[in-house]
Each structure stands twice: as C-alpha cells, then as structure tokens.
Structure 1
Amino acid sequence: MGITTLTVHVKDLQPGMYVSSLDRPWLETPYPIQGFMIRSGKDRERLQQFCEFVYVDVVKSRANSIPKRIIVDNEKATLPSDAAQIYQLTQRDRIPYEKTTSRESELADASTYYDQVGSTYKTLLQDAENDKQLNIPVLKKSIAPMVKSIIQNPDAFIWLTHLKSLDNYSYHHAVSCAVWAVAFGRHLGLPEAQLNSLATGCFLFDIGKTKLPKSLLRSTKRLTVEQFETVKQHVLFGIELVKQTRGIRQEVFDMIRTHHERHNGSGYPLGLSRDQIPLFGRIAGIVDAYDAITSHRPYCPPLPAYEAIEALYQWRGVDFQTELVEQFIQVVGIYPVGSLVELSNASVAVVIGQNEHYRLRPKVMVLLGNDKKLLEEFYEVDLREGLDNDDAPSLTISKGLPPGAYNLDSSHYYF
C-alpha cells in the first residue's frame, strides 16, 4: 500500500489505530504532540470533543485495525493545495529514519565533525570577505559526516550546539541552523542528498553579511529603520556571491533567496507569501528564527527554549506555515535538548535527549536534588519509564526553567 497516513473521521476510529496528527494544532488540545493509540471507544468519544478528523499512521497502527473502505476513500481523496506539499513529504514519501546509535557513542565523532565544519565555515567567510571564490566542494565534504551523524542520532549534535561556543554569533548561528535544519529534514523523512542541501543552505544563507559594515553587525543597540534596511541587503549580496559559484543546487539557492520571506507576505526582499516560498526557504526561515531568538546576540538576550517554542506557535499561519511549525515543534520538543527543567519531585535537570514518540517525556540528567543543592553525582533518567505503570506514578516535568537558573550552566555538567 502506497499511503502510510490516512485521513479518518473521528467517528470512524477503531481500537488499534495510531493517531499521528490532528485537524488542529496539538497545543490547542490536552493531547501530547507525539501522537497516541486509540485503545477504546472512550478514547474516540473524548477526541470528538476537539476534532472532526485526524491522521492515522498505518505503520504504527495494529494490524487489521483499519477497515479497507477507509484506505480506498483516502486513495480517492484530494488534499487542500496549501498543505499538499508538506503532506506529500511527511506522510507519503517519508523515509522512516530511526536512531541507530546512542547519544553517548555518537558524541565523540560528532564533536570532531562539529569542529571541522565550524573551521571550514570560518575559512568560507574569510574568502567571501576577501572576494575569493567560495570553496563549495570543501564545505560539502565537511558537511557530509555531520549529516550522517545527525541521521544516526540527532541528539548528539543538538547537544553540542549547547556545549560549544564558536568565535562569534555568526559562526555559532550557521552551525546551529544547519544542525536544526538537518534534524528537521530527517524528521520529515527527506533523502540524505536533500539533508546535505539543507545544511549547505544554512551555511550560505547569511554569506552576504560579509559585505556589510562590521560595526553594524556588532552593534549592541537595536537597529534604526535605516540600518535595518541596510542589513536587508545581505540577501541580495548573498545571491550575487552564490551566482558566481559553481556547484550550488537550486534548493540551496532557494534558501539564500527566501529565508527572510514570510507566510503572510511581510518578509523581504520580494514579499513572497504562502506557496510562493519554496519549501526549503520555509524550513530555513523557521530554523533561522528559532536559533536567533534562543541565542546570545549583541543587542538581545536569548529566550528560554520553551518560550521560543511558544513564540513559534504564536507565529504559525502568520510568519510561517502552520503545518511546518507543528512538525518543527515535534523535532525540538516542548523542552529541547539543553533546556533546564524542574521535575515533579522538585529536583532540577537538563534535557539531554528526546524520545521521538514521547516529546513531553525526554531523557534528562538530574543536577540538583529537591533541596536545589548540587548533587555530588549526577544521574540520568528516562522520563518515558513507568509511563504504562498505573501503580507507580512516573516522574514528569513540572515546568521549564530559564537558562542559568540556580546558576547552572549545562555545558559544565555533562561529562
């Protein structure tokens, strides 16, 4: 069967069907964003209070739980044009990536690749500043092992974006955006060649800033209207730089050209909207915005990751395509890797890994006891454990904490 996700009216849901998406944003319902199994008629009745139809994952559903008529109806159905492309990618042509290594075993190699790609990007910026030809083959060579590592287990590279600090915001932002974009593309099930393009685009979409005055980029004050108009020119400068460079795929060029366009047409430089913005440009816009608001910038402190997720959620359907925002939130999790959180037993932990199908229950490392004192020995907890045991309530996250809460720096407490 070609279709792996079916649109099903709630009244037609049967026990054993796995609900992977809703007809409305997850955060507007009491359900976890990772999906859930229909286990009884009561589950169906409860869901009817919020949704008219849902999307059912055929692979995760129990065998023979889906009537043939529903499959036939879906094969005949057409999709709304606004969501057709993302549905095509995430539901029909998706490559089902799985974690094939542990975070711990992946970290050593990932750290080496992280340093290599950061060094390559630094050289690339210097070449651009000096009007030299951009060495794209070298960039691609350094990107390839990074992409393979993220395919195997994205948690390692995502964690490194919190541990590492490159020379300045530009370097750190490029590497972090590339990591988020590849993790996002992996979640969407894109083939490896396109994951490499996503990473390449993230390293190049701000290359035009090398042609801006450094004093403007280093300003610690909010830009004036005139200064911001100057900064906007970096997109056009980047386009001109890349036009002179061989070996750039169209989807990479699209990211450079459209990463500041917005869903409602309010972006720049062309004021494109909705599906006028290529998919890779839409992805670039989301990861660029998310990493910017969670990073230390000269003129603005970072938002806590959970507040950044709330901001993205508010921007859905306005700045960014709703379907893509919701998919990205599933990648990042409500509490992203590197976030400080308080647990239900009052202890404090840092998130060190995501559970792909249980985004509200990540893996954490406990740093402070319930008395908020630093533990002599840290320990890991998988918050998914005990989920199915009604007799022993499992540990949960009670709230997110801002960066630096209790004077903690998560990068000091990992190894």
Structure 2
Amino acid sequence: MKHLQYYDVPISVGDLEIGMNVVSLDRPWEETNFLMQGFIIKSQDEIYQLQAQCEQVFVQVKIEDIDAFKRKLEAKPKKPDGKTHRPGVDGPVTETPVHYTDTIVFEDAVEASRVTFDDARSMANNVLDGLRFSRNIKMDDCRGAVEEIVDSVLANKDALRFLSQIKNKDNYTAEHSMNVCILSATFARHLGLLDFEIKTIALCGLLHDVGKANIPLDILNKPGRFNSGEARMMAQHTTFGRNILMSMEGSHRHAVDVAHSHHERIDGKGYPRALSEDAIPYYAKLVSVVDAYDAMTSDRVYGTPKSSEFALDILLKNAGTQFDEALVKEFVKCIGVYPVGCLVELKSGEIAVVVGSNDLDPASSKILIVSDDKKQPNPFERIVNLATENVEGKSIVKELANGSFGFDVKKYIQKDLSLYQS
C-alpha cells in the first residue's frame, strides 16, 4: 500500500484559495480566533480571517503536486509593486461591501444598549487606570466589551452613538477612547466591512490612546496651551502606546499600528514617523478621522464642544492633506447632516434634540422639542416625527453646539425616550 507524502509549503495569505489545507500559521493558534489547529479552507470568509490575522501560513501539498503548485503561485497576478495585499494596511479585505440594516428600532435599541454603554465606559476607565498603576491590559475583557459594542452597532447604527453624547470633560481621555471605539465601529459598518473587521477596528479605537497613560496628569489635563516641552511629551503618546501594546502577550498588530500611527498625515507632516499616504495603515487612517471628529465635538478642559457641522467642515477642508480624502467623504455620509444626539434650532425658534435620523431628508428627522419659541425650557417635552407629522414651523433650520442657550443633550439622553412619545 502506497503512503502519500506531503510538504508543508509557506504561502502568502494573499494567495490562499478555498480547498487549501492550512497546517500552521506565522503566529500561535491561540492568538487567533480559529478553534481548530489545522483545517481545510471551506469559505471565502475563512480566507478573509486568515488575511486579517496573518501574513503567511503553511499549507499541505502532495509531493507529486509540489512543482505544479509552485508554478501556479508564480503565475498569479501581483500588485504593481510586487507586494501582497495586507488587509488593514492597504484597505478592507473584500471589495464587495456588506449591506447592513437595522434589526431593532431606535428607541428599543437605546434602552437595550445602556448596559453595553456603561460596560464600555468602565472598560475604558479600567484600561487607563490599570496602566497608570503598572497593571497590564486585560485584552480578553477588552475584546468582550468590543463584541457587545459591535453587536449593538450592527443591530442599530444610531443607538450607541446617541448614548455616546453623554460626555464628561473631567474624564475626557477614557471617554474619548470609548467614543472612538463606538464611532469607529459605526463608521466601519457604514463602509460595509466584514463583521470581524469591524470588531478589529473597534478594538483599535478603544486602545488608540493607551499611550496617554504614560503622560503626566498635569500635562494631560492642562486647561491651556502646551509649551514646546509639553507638546513634545504629549506627542510621545503614540510611541508609548506602541510600546505598551507590543509588550503584551499575543499578537495585536492592528492595534499597535493604530496606536502608533493615528497622528500621521497624508501629506507626510504628521508624527511620530512622518509617514505619508499608502505608508499609513488603513485602520490608522480610519481611526484618525473618527478621533479628530470626536475631539472637536467633545467638551474638554481646554476647549468647548463644536457642532457636528463645524467638525465635518474641518475634516473636509483637511481632506487630502491631513486625512484620507475618500474616508472623510464617506465619514460625512455616515454622520449625516443632523446626527442623532445633536441640538438643533427649529424654524419656530424652538430648540430640539434629534432622536432619530432621516437619511433621505435630514430636515425631517425625529426630534424631541425641549424649549418654547423664546428658547426657554418647555415642561411639555414631546417627540415629533417631522417625516410623518405636518407641524407648522417645526422644520430644522440649523444645528447648534451642545450647551447653546443652556441646553445640554446629556440631560435628555439619560432618560427613557418612550416617556416622551406623543
């Protein structure tokens, strides 16, 4: 009886095909999400996951087939630079975006997501506090929190983003990390990325600023402008973040990339390495857009929050120089004209909070009216759906920065929206 003999052949993840027998990876199996140590590829999704987590794997090939196998690999078309596509560096792993639809209505999703939001807030705090006290990041806990965040975002694109407007300037760094995590997942969903990619990007968002744990608190929380020495120290948070994540057990290369590179610029004038355009990892480009948007729209010790419209305008003005132009354009579409949680002024002079987006007609969103026409608090707050109710003077005129006329959206987000239903 003849015994078949095999070679274990190294192969780039860009050359994988369905039917190949993967026998080992370029990293320990326990550092990946694969349950089996060795398997035959049965779906394109398994190829995508291998591409996202590895650069090279070993596949088993019969000895008599080895020459034909190598010729087939050599005949495969390569990119112009001869390099294999690396997901997360060059872009998404699939060229066919996934179309996601909400499975839970907004009001129900908000209430269902409150525990997830509170858990995410606690996790972001624990990460930074733990590092300041020389404790390692508990990556399993981080991934668990991210799983819940992504599940919520996939169920309803607006619920967690609405809750993320509950911001506390005295705890800005941790809450900023949580908000970037949530908004990065929302943006990745909008881009139609695959489920596991969205989770990877959300984890990158959560950990993008871990290096700030090594910045002295008197600098981190300084209310005024930094002097040159303080600015140099603050800029080191990207390198500190890289070093923290690289010192941890396991492989977290995408999180390392984002922590190290989210302040690089397309024009090569960023830091810490002055990378430009294609040299900047794709996930870092994505998170940098989200990072800037959340920073501008947040209440910080050294600045008042700007309106979403203002922040998006700044992103557009800096597209192609500071930020990736294509990503900025998509991000503007993702956020929309009047995003949930923003404060708006109506034609009647009243003030309202947007509690339901309308992608087809932003001026006809669902709103919670919180003032009278003199901009005084209205004790009879109620929700009006401008798309279905023809109410005189209730169309949206413009967005207002949170805090305008003394109205803070946090007050209304913390309440059960069903109490306001008309």
Partner of 1:354: 357
Unaligned segments of structure 1, at least 5 residues: 1-84
Say if 1:218 and 1:298, in contact at 8 Å, map to a contact too: yes
Matched, 1:103 2:106: yes
State the 1:126 CA deviation: 2.5
Equivalent-residue separation in structure 2 for 1:214 and 1:260 (angstroms)? 21
Query: Is structure 2 residue 244 aligned with structure 1 residue 241?
Result: yes
Provide the residue aligned with 1:306 in structure 2: 309
Q: Please name the residue that 1:277 is paired with.
A: 280
Q: Which whole-Å CA distance do the structure 1 matches of 2:137 and 2:94 have between them?
A: 37
The residue type equivalent to 1:305 in the other structure is S
Q: Per-residue displacement from partner, 1:26-85 (whole Å, max 9, x unpaired)?
A: xxxxxxxxxxxxxxxxxxxxxxxxxxxxxxxxxxxxxxxxxxxxxxxxxxxxxxxxxxx9
Distance apart, 1:374 and its partner CA: 3.0
Letter of the 1:413 counterpart: Y
Query: Match for residue 333 of structure 2?
Result: 330
Matched with 1:320 is 323
TM-score (norm 1): 0.73
Which of 275, 293, 297 in structure 2 is aligned with 1:294? 297
Is contact 1:89-1:188 (8 Å) kept? Answer: no
Q: Following TM superposition, by how much is the alpha carbon of 1:206 offset from its aligned partner in structure 2, in angstroms? A: 1.0
Q: How has the CA–CA distance of structure 1 residues 167 and 394 changed in structure 2, closer, same or farther, with 3 Å as cutoff? A: closer
Q: Which amino acid aligns with 1:397?
A: I
2:146 aligns with one of 138, 143, 146: 143
TM superposition shift of 1:176:
0.8
Partner of 1:402: 401
Query: 2:374 aligned with 1:375, yes or no?
Result: no
Question: Quick check: which has more Rg, 1 or 2?
Answer: 2
Shift, 1:90, TM fit: 11
Report how far residue 359 of structure 1 moved: 4.3
Residue 397 of structure 1: how far off its partner (Å): 1.8
Structure 1 residues 237-261: Cα deviation after superposition (integer angstroms, max 9, x where no partner):
1111111113444322221121001
Shift of 1:113: 0.9
| 2:369 corresponding residue in structure 1 | 366
**Aligned-pair CA distance for 1:108:** 2.3
Q: Distance in 2 between matches of 1:227 and 1:282?
A: 25
Match in the other structure for 1:159: 162
Q: Which residue of 2 aligns with 1:191?
A: 194
Q: Distance in 2 between matches of 1:289 and 1:377?
A: 36
Q: What letter matches 1:169 in structure 2?
A: Y
Match of 2:205 in 1: 202
Q: How many Å apart are 1:164 and its aligned residue?
A: 5.0
Give % identity: 28
Report how far residue 88 of structure 1 moved. 7.9
Cα deviation for residue 361 of structure 1 reads: 4.0
From 114, 119, 127, give the equivalent of 2:117.
114
Whole-angstrom distance in 1 between the partners of 2:169 and 2:230: 26
1:213 to 1:141, Cα distance in 2 relative to 1, 3 A: same
Q: Taking structure 1 as reference, are residues 359 and 262 closer, same or farther at Cα in structure 2, changes over 3 Å only? A: farther
TM-aligned CA deviation for residue 150 of structure 1: 0.9
- Structure 1 residue 396 displacement after superposition: 3.2
Secondary structure of 2:224's partner?
coil
Q: Name the counterpart of 1:250.
A: 253
Change (3 A) 1:266 1:363: farther
- On the 8 A contact 1:333/1:360 being kept in 2, the answer is no
> Aligned partners of 2:257, 2:90: CA distance in 1, in Å?
20
Report how far residue 185 of structure 1 moved: 0.3
- Superposed counterparts of 1:49-88, under 5 Å: none
Which residue identity is paired with 1:323? A
Query: Does the Cα contact within 8 Å between 2:242 and 2:257 map onto a contact in 1?
Result: no
State the one-letter code of the partner of 1:310: D
Cα pair 2:345 2:397 within 8 Å, conserved: yes
TM-score (norm 2): 0.72
Question: What is the CA–CA distance in structure 1 between the aligned matches of 2:140 and 2:118, rounded to whole Å?
Answer: 18
The CA distance in 1 between the partners of 2:363 and 2:92, in whole Å, is 24
CA distance, structure 2, for counterparts of residue 360 and residue 274 of structure 1: 36
2:277 partner amino acid: R
Structure 1 residues 334-343 or 316-325, which shifts more?
334-343
Alignment correspondent of 1:45 = none
Find the counterpart in structure 1 of residue 265 from structure 2: 262
Structure 2: stretches of 5+ with no match in the other structure: 1-87, 416-422
CA 1:315–1:134 in 2, change beyond 3 Å: closer, same or farther? same
Report if the CA contact (8 A) 2:103-2:155 is conserved: yes
From the superposition, tell whether residues 153 and 128 of structure 1 become closer, same or farther in structure 2 (CA, over 3 Å).
Answer: same
Tell me how far 1:166 sits from its aligned partner. 8.0
- Secondary structure of the 1:364 match is strand
Distance 2:109 2:364 in 1: 21
Are the aligned partners of 1:385 and 1:394 in contact in 2 as well (CA < 8 Å)?
no
The one-letter code matched in structure 2 to 1:264 is D
SS, match of residue 370 in structure 2: strand
